[in-house]
Amino acid sequence: MTTTLPSAAPQDGVAGQHAALGMRPEGIVSSRPTHPEAQWFGTAGLGLMVHWGLPAVHGNLETSWSMIANTPWDAAGAPGNKITPAEYWKLAADFRPENFAPNDWIAAAARAGFRYAVFVAMHHDGYTMWPSRSSRFGVQSTPVGRDLVGPYVEACRRAGIKVGLYLSPPDWHFDRKHMSFNYRSMGGLEGNRKDPTVPMFDEHHRPAVIAPPSADHLAERRQLFHARIRELLTDYGRIDLLWFDGGTWDNDARDLALSIQPHLVINSRICAGHFESTECGFPAEPPVTWMETCYCWQTCDLLMPNGAPVEVWGYLDRETYKPARWVADAYRKLRNWNVNFLLNVSPRPDGTMPPIVYQRFQELQKELA
C-alpha cells in the first residue's frame, strides 16, 4: 500500500541555508549503528527539538539567521526580523532565563508521547548554553551566570526520554572578522563567495573588504568544535544523540564522539552518521535507512516569495502553534515509513515554556491515544 504524506513545504529557505553554510548536498552516507544501546532510535517515533537563546529576548528573530542580511526566504519580514550581528550579540546582556525549569515541559512532552529530545547547546551564533571552557561567549560570560544544558539533561533522565544535544560546527562569533553577513556573498566556512560582485558585509552590515580565514584560523575553529564535543560528552554523563548542523565534512568529529560514548546516535549532516533528515518538508519516498523529519511546531505569518510559510527556528512572541491534529496526522504517516518526527518548540526569554505548548502536548496526547 502506498502512503501519501502531507504536502511538503517548499525547500527554498532550507536549501539556501545549507548552501550558505557550505554543506555538501551529495555524498551523504548513513548506516545504522551496530551498538545494541543505539537501536532505540529506529522505533523512537516522536522527538522534541528546542531552539532557544539570545533571539528570544527580541521575540521576532530566527536563531542566528536573523543577523544575515538579504536572506530571500523571509524578505517579507524585513527589517523587523533583521538586526546586525553586533546588535544580535548585544542581546546577551538582557538574556536572563531566571525561570528556566525544564522538568515541567519535558515531563509534559513525555506524557504526550515524545521519546527523545534535542536541545540546542550552541547554534551558529556561537553562544554556548553551558559554561564552556573552550569559549569566551556563552552563559559563563553573560548575566545568565548558570548552566542551561545540565538541567535539561537531568529533566530528560527524570522523564525517561533519550537525551539529545544539537551542536553547530560553524561559530559566527568566532568567525566574525572573516565572513560576510550578507547572504548574497556568503559561501560556507572556507570563505568561498557565491557572487564575487556582491559586497561582503561586516558585523554592522556595512560593505567591507574581508579577508578569508587563514589555514590557522580554520584549524583553530575545528579544534574548538572538537573541544566542545569533548566537554558535552564528558561533563553531563550519558548522552544518547548528537545532532550536528552545518559546515564541512568531518568524520573525525563523529569518531571522536563515538570514542567517548560508543552508544551515541549521530546524524549525517556533516559526517557519515546513522540517520538522514529532511527539514521543513517530508520525504518523497520511503527511506532505505533511518530517517528523521524536523519541523517547527510554531507557525509564522511571514510567507516566502513562492507563498509558502516561513519556518522560524526560535521563539516568536506571537506564540502560535500548528494544531495537534496536524502533528498527529503527519506523525502517523511518517511512522508508516519508519521515519521519526522531530518537532521544535521554543521557551520564552525567561525560560518558561508558553502555555500554548502545554496545551498542544495535552491535545496531542489525546490525538495519539
**C-beta of residue 189 within 8 angstroms of C-beta of residue 247:** yes
The reply to whether 166 falls in a domain is yes
Cis peptide, bond prior to residue 212, ω within 30 of zero: no
Mean pLDDT of 187-205: 75
Tell which wins on pLDDT, 206 or 302. 206
Which pLDDT value is given to residue 328? 97
Question: Is residue 292 classed as helix, strand or coil in its secondary structure?
Answer: strand
**7 occurs within a structural domain:** no
Q: Is the pLDDT of residue 326 over 70?
A: yes
The pLDDT assigned to 2 comes to 36
**Domain assignment of residue 5, yes or no:** no
- Distant-in-sequence contacts of 189-195, Cβ < 8 A, 24+ apart: 189/21, 189/22, 189/213, 189/218, 189/221, 189/247, 189/248, 190/22, 190/218, 190/248, 192/22, 194/19, 194/20
Strand partners, 223: none
Write down the pLDDT at residue 14: 75
- Strand partners for 201: 207
In the DSSP assignment, the letter for residue 208 is E
- If you average pLDDT over residues 162-176, what whole number do you get? 96
Q: Stretch 37-66: mean pLDDT, rounded?
A: 97
pLDDT at 25: 56
Q: How far apart are CA 234 and CA 118, in angstroms?
A: 17
| Residue 24 within any structural domain of the chain | yes
pLDDT at 1: 33
CATH code: domain of residue 249? 3.20.20.80
Cα separation, 229 vs 172, whole angstroms: 17
Q: In this model, does residue 193 exceed pLDDT 90?
A: no
Nearby residues of 85 by Cβ (< 8 Å), 6 or more positions away: 67, 172, 176, 181, 203, 204, 205
Establish if 226 belongs to a structural domain. Answer: yes
Describe the crossing of helices 102-112 and 149-159 by its angle, rounded to 10 degrees.
40
Residue 4 maps to a domain: no
> What's the pLDDT band for 258 if we cut at 50, 70, 90?
very high
Average pLDDT, the chain: 91
Among 354, 336, 330, which Cα is nearest to 108's? 354
So what's the pLDDT on residue 195?
Answer: 73
State how many domains the chain has.
1
Instruction: For residue 42, tell me if it sits in a domain.
Output: yes
- Could you read off the pLDDT of 339-361 as tens digits, one per residue? 999 999 999 999 999 999 999 99
Q: Residue ranges of the alpha helices (H) in the chain?
A: 12-20, 85-90, 102-112, 149-159, 215-235, 251-260, 324-336, 355-367
Per-residue pLDDT, averaged over 264-274, amounts to 95
- Look at residue 247 and tell me whether its pLDDT is greater than 90: no
Separation of alpha carbons 89 and 204, rounded Å: 11
Cell numbers at 285, concatenated: 519516498
- Output phi, psi for 192, to 5 deg: -65, 145
Range(s) of the domain holding residue 239: 12-367
The pLDDT of 82-111, averaged and rounded, is 97
**Would you call 359 helix, strand, or coil by DSSP?**
helix
Rg (CA), the chain: 19
User: Residue 212 — very low, low, confident or very high, per pLDDT cuts 50/70/90?
Assistant: confident
Q: How far apart are CA 138 and CA 162, in angstroms?
A: 25
Task: Determine the average pLDDT of the residues in 187-203.
Answer: 72
The answer as to whether 256 is a domain residue is yes
